[in-house]
């Protein structure tokens, strides 16, 4: 009886460190955006992930340089505070009229860093009152299991707890694509997505 108990305790003790890295799975894939020069800036994310997730304590930054918001698309976890910088010699005025976050930071130059916290999930379209051509998007998500495609359309979502989820896409002009996806511990799930409309 004691021998069996020792055996059990021993195997639990060694099982945890040995398999710690194999408790999660990965999703890799490629998105093709039709009638677009690049397949970049597609946000691929999971929904139905149980639990509550803390926002990143390191504030991501949206910079303004050469009259362009950088990055053009910023996915974040709900509750995240974003820093808004200005690295131009001209003043900008960032605002949003989106349902997920209405705000206006006013007109300011490169000597000021402004902040805004995003507490509601959804798309926040950013614009500048001074330069009509400036546009950018913050995509506020419920959990940290997301990725943004590079120019080649490729993406990776790592450290996903095993389970069944709905995988969705966000793109500034295309409709949301969604599919069911199963993630298994220690395995990589591979998918290909085409955004046509």
Closest distance of CB 192 from Cu ion, Å: 37
Range list of β-strands (E), the chain: 25-33, 43-47, 61-65, 68-70, 73-77, 81-84, 92-98, 101-108, 114-117, 122-128, 135-141, 146-148, 154-160, 163-170, 178-183, 188-195
Quote the distance between the C-alpha of residue 149 and its chain's center: 10
Residue 88 — φ and ψ, nearest 5°? -105, 165
Q: Which stretch binds Cu ion (CB under 5 A): 20-28, 52-60, 132-140, 172-180?
A: 132-140
Nearer to Cu ion, 109 or 186 (CB): 109
Nearer to Cu ion, 131 or 168 (CB): 131
SS3 12: helix
Q: Which stretch binds Cu ion (CB under 5 A): 31-39, 97-105, 110-118, 130-138?
A: 130-138
Of residues 39 through 98, those in contact with Cu ion by CB under 5 A are 92
Residue 7 touches Cu ion, criterion: CB under 5 A: no
Closest distance of CB 128 from Cu ion, Å: 3
Q: Which stretch binds Cu ion (CB under 5 A): 16-24, 124-132, 143-151, 168-176?
A: 124-132
Closest distance of CB 161 from Cu ion, Å: 41
Residue 128 touches Cu ion, criterion: CB under 5 A: yes
């Amino acid at each position: 009886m004691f021998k069996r108990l020792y055996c059990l305790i021993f195997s639990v003790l060694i099982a945890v460190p040995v398999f710690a890295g194999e408790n999660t799975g990965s999703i890799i894939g490629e998105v093709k955006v039709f009638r677009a020069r690049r397949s970049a800036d597609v946000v691929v994310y999971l929904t139905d992930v149980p639990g509550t997730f803390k926002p990143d304590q390191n504030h991501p930054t949206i910079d303004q340089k050469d009259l362009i918001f950088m990055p053009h698309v910023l996915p974040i976890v709900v509750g995240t505070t974003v820093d808004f910088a200005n690295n131009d010699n001209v003043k900008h005025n960032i605002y949003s009229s989106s349902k997920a976050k209405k705000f206006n930071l006013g007109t300011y130059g490169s000597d000021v860093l402004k902040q805004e916290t995003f507490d509601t999930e959804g798309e926040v379209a950013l614009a500048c009152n001074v330069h009509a051509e400036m546009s950018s998007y913050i995509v506020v998500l419920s959990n940290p299991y997301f990725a943004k495609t590079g120019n080649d359309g490729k993406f990776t979502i790592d450290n996903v707890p095993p389970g069944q989820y709905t995988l969705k896409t966000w793109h500034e002009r295309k409709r949301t694509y969604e599919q069911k996806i199963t993630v298994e511990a220690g395995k990589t799930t591979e998918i290909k997505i085409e955004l046509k409309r």
